[in-house]
Amino acid sequence: MIEKAMEFAREIFSGDASGHDFDHTMRVYRMATRLAKEEGADQEIVQLAALLHDVDDHKLSPETCENHLRAVTFLRGNGADEVKIRIITDIISRISFSANRGAPSTLEGKCVQDADRLDAMGAIGIARTFAYGGSRGRRMHDPDGNDPNATIQHFYDKLLLLKESMNTATARRLAEDRDRFMRSYLEQFYAEWEGIC
């Protein structure tokens, strides 16, 4: 079922350049698997939730996001029982940062949420953020502070807050390194913008 879920996600995300691509899904899958091992979480639940976590994202698929229709249809079609489907869709509905539904109650949900949030941080998180801004035609930075949609603002709205929201010890440690990297990146960014270095 894991391999089929991987193929399913690959088909859905082919061609997406908004930061919700198949590579993101696979990084979340690998990190969630690592966290599941270190935390002793149920590996299959974690892996399926990671692979399916963005297939009904409200930005990509607004017509299916409410009921996780694509994920449910996939799981049902591949023989998952209703209890397992419920556990997985509960995890998916809780991990979004923008939906802000708080920390997942299960260890499995915590691993997937941490993996998804780690992928919004560090060098990869920076790259995804500018890729997203570019896909929306946004300015990178507005030194006069008049453009609330300048991409740099997203660091203050979200990326620099993520460190505090990690659930597992391993993710917290990785998040600290990634947070430090982003802060030093911002210093360098502003210094270059001013022509100081």
Binding site for ligand ADP (CB under 6 A): 19, 59, 96-98, 120, 125, 128-129, 132-133, 151, 154
Q: With contact defined as beta carbons under 8 Å apart, do 93 and 101 qualify?
A: yes
Q: With contact defined as beta carbons under 8 Å apart, do 110 and 166 qualify?
A: no
Pick from Ni ion, ligand ADP, none: which does 128 bind, CB < 5 to 8 A by kind?
Answer: ligand ADP
Using DSSP's 3-state secondary structure scheme, residue 40 falls into coil
**CA 195 to each of CA 23, 50, 149, 153, 171: distance values in angstroms, whole numbers, following the listed order:** 35, 42, 23, 20, 36
Q: Would you say 54 or 114 has its CB closer to Ni ion?
A: 54
Pick from Ni ion, ligand ADP, none: which does 129 bind, CB < 5 to 8 A by kind?
Answer: ligand ADP
The CA distance from 33 to 177, in Å, is 20
Pick from ligand ADP, Ni ion, none: which does 109 bind, CB < 5 to 8 A by kind?
Answer: none
CB of 152 to ligand ADP, least distance (A): 9
Pick from ligand ADP, Ni ion, none: which does 108 bind, CB < 5 to 8 A by kind?
Answer: none
The per-residue DSSP string of 45-75 comes to HHHHHHHHTTTT-TTT-TTTTTTTHHHHHHH
CB of 111 to Ni ion, least distance (A): 13
Contact letters for Ni ion, residues 98-117 (x by CB under 5 A): ------------------x-
CB of 144 to Ni ion, least distance (A): 33
Q: Would you say 151 or 168 has its CB closer to ligand ADP?
A: 151
Q: Would you say 68 or 154 has its CB closer to ligand ADP?
A: 154
Per CB under 5 A, 54 contacts Ni ion: yes
Pick from Ni ion, ligand ADP, none: which does 151 bind, CB < 5 to 8 A by kind?
Answer: ligand ADP
